[in-house]
Amino acid sequence: MTLLELDNVVVEFPTRRGPLEAVKGLSLELDEGQILGLVGESGAGKSITGAAITGLIEPPGLIRSGEVRLRGQRIDNLPPEKIRRIRGKEIGAIFQDPLTSLNPVYTVGEQLVDTMRVHLGLDQKAARKRAIEWLAEVGIPAPEARLDQHPHQFSGGMRQRVVIALALCAEPKLIIADEPTTALDVSVQAQILALLKRLCRENGTAVVLVTHDMGVIAETADRVAVMYAGRLVEIGDVAQVIQDPLHPYTRGLMNSIPQIGNRDARLTQIEGAMPGLRNPAPGCAFAPRCPRAMDICRTTRPVPLAAGSGQVACHLFGEAQ
């Protein structure tokens, strides 16, 4: 069953020199219990997409057009008080830096207890008991003692576990995880991803996993959406996209991943850089960096075409069809 729908969403930031579009006509769907990886370089529009879903776009930024629907109900046009009620109860969030995601003044127990009392209506005793259970669930040792400690008394990996518990404790149906493991070392990163995947499977929670790491996507997600310059360039099942990427940008991302056991292989670099938001090119935004660009790529923007279990926006694929 479809849980989340983005229909032609455009996120705009007004400036003195004219509006800048950070997300340009994005459409995608997410089913219940599914993990969708949102991948791309810095500046692709991934985090802004997550902010659009949760209603956290800072003014003067706004969703200029399109719709965001949760369980069929439009939520992008709700007043602040109503979206605040949905955020936490229906939609949880895990941010990149756990130290700034937690309030340093309050203990982790107070933050967990307050969240469950507001969104689940539990009394103090029941919420505290459930908070201890959540800390144990995410792998915090001695949860009864750690419940009354402040965030600065936890390591980075433990703080991220607390943030996951905080995101899941109100039993939301959707989690927006924005680069949740970037600041962690590799071993802790693997533990956090396995934990998030297990808890979501057990609770039937859907996840939008924002990352720049295709390796993380391969290990965690069910489907992957590749963004470039604010647009969706390819989407499909993880196995299909990883084994047979269709868009040249997706191929470049895959070729930039080191191959274990092949120490002599050189990594492929995508030449150039992500274009700025001002004065967008009339054709494909990736054309200046694409080794297979044609004349049509520089003048005409490609439209998404069906490809297996997903879609790809590329003139090369259209020519092949």
Question: DSSP readout, 91-114?
Answer: EEEE-S-HHHHS-TTS-HHHHHHH
Q: Would 188 be classed as within a structural domain?
A: yes
Least trusted range by pLDDT, from 83-97, 221-235, 290-304? 83-97
Give the total number of structural domains in the chain.
1
Does residue 135 form part of some domain?
Answer: no
> What pLDDT does 238 receive?
94
In a domain, 14, yes or no: yes
Pick the more confident residue, 195 or 311.
311
Q: Compute the distance between CA of residue 207 and CA of residue 173 in angstroms, rounded to an integer.
A: 9
Residue 295 maps to a domain: no
Summarize pLDDT for 118-140 with one digit per residue, the tens: 999 999 999 999 999 999 988 89
Residue 225 lies in a domain: yes
Confidence of residue 320 (pLDDT cuts 50, 70, 90): very low
Say if 61 falls within a structural domain: yes
Question: 245 lies in a domain?
Answer: no
Distance CA 230, CA 276 (A): 10
CATH of the domain at 226: 3.40.50.300
Task: Note the pLDDT of residue 144.
Answer: 95
Which whole number is the average pLDDT over 234-247? Answer: 93
Assess whether pLDDT exceeds 50 at residue 101: yes
* Domain carrying residue 76: 2-90+172-235
pLDDT tens, position by position, 263-299: 666 777 888 888 888 878 789 999 999 999 999 999 9
Tell me what the pLDDT averaged over the chain comes to.
Answer: 89
Is residue 305 in a domain? no
Q: What's the rounded Cα separation, in Å, for the pair 303 and 10?
A: 16
